Structure 1
């Protein structure tokens, strides 16, 4: 490791940290557009307005840069979602109300942390080379915890008679997450085509139309 690189790792100055955050944002945009495998440090450096050598002042490799995106941002968002989701599941409300709040929580977290969460979905962390690392396993565990919260609300709905019982809750959950997660292909904050709020309303209307129990 070069002396410059060792010095950079210990640099906590506001200017260095601000530049590092800007670089992470640029890298996230490039990874989202090209995909992790196709994106290169040259692509990121060009978009950032610098050369490849300067990238090494902040990160030793593309892999380290990609990892930092998730360690610095995504893990915290997943923690917040699990915490907020747990609170929603415990409120005194019927299952449809809880589920709507969970959908809202998830979609707004995607919008407010764009494109980091979408990058996580796009790259399918379970298939990446990082899956054996502790931080990747931690992310997958947090994702499964949130999915379990949703599954629990769906099961509550079946038990209380608000959700239909002829469709397995596991299948309902897959349908719901399929709709939400596919938005990484087309929902872009600031595009003025459709925003997270409109998407929440539309998805809940469509999902509840099929999932709600029919009156006897």
Structure 2
């Protein structure tokens, strides 16, 4: 069967939304996540197929490429990140404690979703110039997350638990820059636990940004 015919079957199956088909597709995505984590994004579809005990050709009925697998993994991770940020936003904790929770959730996301979030961060600038549905979606999700963080920081300024003499947009960029730079050095073998990384980041950030009596 030609590639175009397989693609047509895959699109039709996705539109139909059969429970069994979607469950198998999710199983493949989860297997790919584990393979990429263990072997890096250099791993191939053949590696994923071997883990599942099938052949690479069989995967094409469910996913079109390794890039599509990455996109699905990142889409799910970003959705979880947004849900976590919204939960922090709605909590009754103080703004500094909300920032600590945000930082912990971001660091944990890098750790739990390695190397997918690393690849996503490296490619984010390229996405911003693309017009594909995937590029639009990931940029929209990123902007939604940024808006939640900005809302939390602005509330802290209003409540005077954060400094008001520092530009909030620059302060937000400092927070994102600190976390996103992890793609340059974080690996699962890094000798410091994600929780300790998050605590360190929070202490450094709030030491300069939290308001003092």
Range class of TM-score, shorter chain: 0.7 to 0.9
What residue number does 2:104 align with?
A: 104
Q: CA RMSD in A?
A: 3.5
Equivalence for 2:178: 179
Shift in Å, 1:111? 1.2
Q: Which runs of 5+ in 2 are unaligned?
A: 14-19
8 A contact 1:5–1:58 mirrored in 2: no
Cα displacement (A) at 1:30: 7.2
Deviation at 1:58, TM superposition (A): 3.2
**Conserved? CA contact 1:8–1:58, under 8 Å:** no
Conserved 8 A contact 1:59-1:65:
no
Provide the C-alpha distance between the structure 2 equivalents of 1:199 and 1:207, rounded to a whole number of angstroms.
12
Q: 2:210 aligns with which of 203, 212, 215?
A: 212
What's 2:68 paired with? 67
Q: How far is 1:113 from its partner?
A: 1.7
Query: Any conservation in 2 of the 1:28–1:119 contact (CA below 8 Å)?
Result: no
Q: Aligned to 2:201, which of 193, 200, 203?
A: 203
CA contact (8 A) 2:45 2:65 kept: no
Written as runs of structure 1 = structure 2, the 5 A alignment for 1:183-194 is: 183-189=182-188, 191-194=189-192
Distance in 2 (CA, whole Å) between partners of 1:140 and 1:44 is: 26
Cα gap change, 1:201 to 1:23, in 2 (>3 Å): closer
Aligned-residue offset at 1:75: 1.0
Q: Is the 8 A contact 1:89 1:149 kept in 2?
A: yes
Correspondence for 2:17: none
Deviation at 1:55, TM superposition (A): 4.7
Is 1:120 aligned with 2:120?
Answer: yes
- Aligned residue pairs, count: 199
Q: Is the 8 A contact 2:32 2:69 kept in 1?
A: no
Distance 1:128 1:30, change over 3 A: farther
- Is the CA contact (8 Å cut-off) linking 1:111 and 1:196 kept in structure 2? yes
Task: Please tell me whether the aligned partners of residues 128 and 139 of structure 2 are also in contact (alpha carbons under 8 angstroms).
Answer: no
1:161 maps to: 160
